[in-house]
């Protein structure tokens, strides 16, 4: 056995011994408060056996796996596996993953300013941000990005394409794009710039009713929404807007404080959310303060199976306080809070620290929220333009507002969807690198 291998094994067994002694110490401390010393003594031997097994497995992998495995990578994967086995939302973040999460939380990054989705032979531009490098270069919605800096784009690896489009501010990027109506690929040279993610879109649907779409919850979302409401009120033709549609469809969540602030914006009083956890800071209750930026205007929220976490906190807070009516489909059902804990060398731990409860005291984890009006049939994606004409759910919400302004339906005639309709989607994207509790 080489000197390096012996050193590696010694380190592992040292780690195992330290872990065993630490866990045994906790077990022995607990023994003072229990009546069954034999049960505690028996459990004290388990951590040592498990730690020794871990060291043995790692060494067997190093010696026998078909390909050589880097020691650092092996240990990183062991850590990641341990954390991710806790639940669906806890994970170990590499430096790059931690930086990506910061982008989602702060709402700013250096790139070209497009949202993309897998497409044929590349990734498709589904949205171009206003005043972004992409818009200035002439890239259009619907364009297919085929190569980035002469490297082919794999539509099955969306994250890799996104990572290659980001980079230092001012640095150039070369894109080959396929556009409908053009037989040849189009070449674009785009200089990366600081891009501010806009998480709130707003427009007037009629002279009396406004529309607010929240795509995610970042550090700036509450301020964006407050400015949007003020802007709509200034441009509205009526003395005061009678109602707002707040669209939370496909909003995967984000920063806890942002969702709480928006709920507070529309509430004069009442519980917004409570949480329970083991650590002192994981137990909290958040209440609304007086002041309603909508001045009592009626609210209808649109939700679906992609509305998760922070979206559900906002929906439940407004619904349980009899401030809003919910229309759509059963929400995702994520009722836990994750805290981001920075580690050494730019890494971080995202770990579930709390379970939260709606103002009515319910846990929606794995259950979701059933709207007052449950929609059946195939769901169409939210429209980007001509909302009233092209988005039937927006039209339905508008009819609910204009037909009964200020009246909150309790959904007596709404039957819960069946188990298939309430099925939960896949894992949601990571969104919040913050030292305070965050959601996703």
Give the distance between the most distant pair of CA atoms in the chain: 83
CB 208 within 8 A of CB 262: no
Average pLDDT of span 3-27: 45
CB 123 within 8 A of CB 116: yes
Q: Provide the percentage of residues in the chain whose pLDDT is more than 90.
A: 53
Q: Which of 320, 336, 350, 354 is catalytic?
A: 320
Average pLDDT of span 314-336: 96
Is the model's pLDDT at 428 over the cut of 50? no
- In a domain? residue 82: no
For residues 176 and 162, membership in a common domain is answered with yes
For residues 216 and 279, membership in a common domain is answered with yes
Is the model's pLDDT at 409 over the cut of 60? no
Question: E strand or H helix at 286, and its extent?
Answer: strand 284-287
Tokens of 424: 């939960």
DSSP designation for 417: P
Is the model's pLDDT at 374 over the cut of 80? yes
Q: Looking at residue 385, what is its pLDDT?
A: 65
DSSP designation for 386: -
Is the model's pLDDT at 303 over the cut of 70? yes
Residue 104 bears catalytic tag: no
For residues 161 and 208, membership in a common domain is answered with no
More confident residue, 47 or 194: 194
**R_g (Cα) of the chain, nearest Å:** 26
For residues 310 and 383, membership in a common domain is answered with yes
- In a domain? residue 78: no
Q: Which of 309, 311, 336, 354 is catalytic?
A: 309
Cα dihedral sign for 190, 191, 197, 200? Answer: negative
**3-state SS string for 379-417:** CCCCCCCCHHHHCHHHHHHHHHHHHCCCCCCCCCCCCCC
C-alpha separations of 121 from 142, 153, 177, 178, 300 in Å: 13, 7, 10, 9, 40
For residues 143 and 247, membership in a common domain is answered with no
Which of 41-50, 100-109, 264-273 comes out lowest in average pLDDT?
41-50
pLDDT band at 238 (very low <50, low <70, confident <90, very high): low
Highest mean pLDDT, choosing among 96-105, 260-269, 387-396:
260-269
Cα dihedral sign for 422, 407, 266, 247? Answer: positive
For residues 134 and 225, membership in a common domain is answered with no
More confident residue, 158 or 394: 394
* 221-224: Cβ within 8 A, 24+ apart: 221/107, 221/254, 221/255, 221/258, 221/262, 222/257, 222/258, 222/261, 222/262, 222/265, 224/198, 224/199, 224/200
- In a domain? residue 415: yes
- In a domain? residue 336: yes
- In a domain? residue 389: yes
Average pLDDT of span 71-83: 91
Among residues 155, 174, 196, which one ends one of the domains?
196
For residues 340 and 237, membership in a common domain is answered with yes
- In a domain? residue 76: no
Among residues 16, 50, 69, which one ends one of the domains?
69
Highest mean pLDDT, choosing among 81-90, 103-112, 114-123:
81-90
* CATH code (residue 223): 3.90.226.10
Which of 103-107, 223-227, 305-309, 436-440 comes out lowest in average pLDDT?
436-440
Q: Looking at residue 16, what is its pLDDT?
A: 47
Average pLDDT of span 353-367: 96
More confident residue, 373 or 107: 373
For residues 424 and 354, membership in a common domain is answered with yes
* CATH code (residue 149): 2.30.42.10
Tell me how far apart the alpha carbons of residues 335 and 224 are, in angstroms, rounded to a whole number: 25
Helices marked H in 301-384: 310-320
For residues 216 and 185, membership in a common domain is answered with no
- In a domain? residue 291: yes
Which of 1-10, 355-364, 389-398, 420-429 comes out lowest in average pLDDT?
420-429
Is the model's pLDDT at 13 over the cut of 70? no
pLDDT band at 365 (very low <50, low <70, confident <90, very high): very high
- In a domain? residue 81: no
Mean of pLDDT over the chain: 81
Residue 334 bears catalytic tag: yes
Among residues 149, 172, 196, which one ends one of the domains?
196
pLDDT band at 21 (very low <50, low <70, confident <90, very high): very low
Half-sphere CA count of 150, side-chain side, radius 13 A: 0
For residues 173 and 262, membership in a common domain is answered with no
* 168-174: Cβ within 8 A, 24+ apart: 168/110, 168/192, 169/110, 169/193, 169/194, 173/112, 173/148, 173/149, 174/147, 174/148, 174/149, 174/150
For residues 60 and 168, membership in a common domain is answered with no
Is the model's pLDDT at 70 over the cut of 60? yes
Q: Provide the percentage of residues in the chain whose pLDDT is more than 70.
A: 80
Read off φ and ψ for residue 415, nearest 5 degrees. Answer: -95, 140
Q: Looking at residue 176, what is its pLDDT?
A: 94
CB-neighbour burial class of residue 352 (10 A; exposed 0-12, middle 13-18, buried 19+): middle
Is the model's pLDDT at 5 over the cut of 80? no
For residues 350 and 236, membership in a common domain is answered with yes
Q: Which of 20, 242, 334, 372 is catalytic?
A: 334
Average pLDDT of span 171-176: 94
pLDDT tens digits, 110-137 = 889 887 878 778 888 877 888 889 999 9
Residue 320 bears catalytic tag: yes
Domain count, the chain: 3
More confident residue, 286 or 117: 286
Domain containing 285 equals 200-438
Question: How many residues are present in the chain?
Answer: 440
Is the model's pLDDT at 405 over the cut of 70? no
């Amino acid at each position: 056995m080489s000197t390096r291998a012996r050193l590696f094994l010694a380190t592992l067994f040292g780690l195992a011994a330290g872990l065993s002694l630490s866990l045994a110490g906790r077990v022995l401390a607990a023994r003072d408060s229990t009546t069954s010393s034999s049960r505690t003594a028996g459990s004290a031997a388990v951590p040592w056996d498990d730690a020794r097994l871990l060291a043995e497995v790692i060494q067997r992998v190093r010696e026998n796996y078909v390909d050589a495995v880097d020691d650092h990578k092996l240990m990183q994967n062991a850590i990641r596996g341990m954390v991710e086995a806790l639940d669906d939302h806890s994970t170990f973040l590499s430096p790059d993953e931690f930086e990506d999460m910061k982008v989602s939380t702060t709402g700013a990054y250096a790139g070209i300013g497009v949202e993309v989705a897998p497409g044929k032979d590349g990734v498709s531009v589904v949205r171009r941000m206003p005043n972004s490098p992409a818009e200035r270069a002439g890239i259009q919605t619907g364009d297919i990005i085929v190569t980035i800096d002469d490297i082919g784009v794999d539509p099955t690896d969306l994250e890799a394409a996104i990572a290659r489009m980001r980079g230092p501010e001012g640095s150039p990027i070369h894109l080959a794009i396929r556009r409908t109506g053009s037989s040849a690929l189009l070449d674009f040279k785009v200089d990366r710039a600081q891009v501010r993610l806009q998480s709130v879109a707003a427009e007037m649907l009629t002279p009396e009713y406004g529309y607010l779409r929240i795509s995610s919850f970042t550090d700036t979302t509450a301020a964006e929404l407050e400015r949007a409401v003020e802007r709509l009120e200034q441009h509205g033709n009526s003395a005061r807007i009678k109602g707002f549609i707040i669209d939370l469809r496909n909003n995967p969540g984000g920063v806890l404080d942002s969702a709480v602030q928006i709920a507070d914006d529309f509430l004069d009083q009442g519980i917004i959310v409570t949480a329970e956890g083991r650590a002192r800071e994981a137990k909290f209750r958040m209440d609304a303060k007086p002041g309603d930026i909508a001045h009592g205007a009626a609210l209808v929220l649109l939700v679906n199976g992609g509305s998760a976490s922070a979206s559900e906190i906002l929906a439940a807070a407004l619904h349980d306080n009899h401030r809003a009516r919910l229309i759509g489909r059963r929400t995702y059902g994520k009722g836990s809070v994750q805290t981001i804990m920075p580690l050494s060398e730019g890494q971080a731990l995202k770990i579930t620290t709390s379970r939260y409860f709606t103002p009515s005291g319910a846990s929606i984890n794995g259950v979701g929220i059933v709207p007052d009006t449950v929609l059946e049939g195939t769901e169409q994606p939210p429209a980007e333009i001509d909302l009233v004409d092209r988005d039937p759910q927006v039209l339905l919400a508008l009819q609910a507002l204009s037909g009964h302004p200020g009246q909150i339906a309790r959904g007596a005639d709404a039957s819960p969807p069946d188990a298939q309709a309430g099925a939960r989607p896949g894992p949601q994207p990571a969104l919040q690198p913050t030292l305070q509790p965050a959601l996703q």
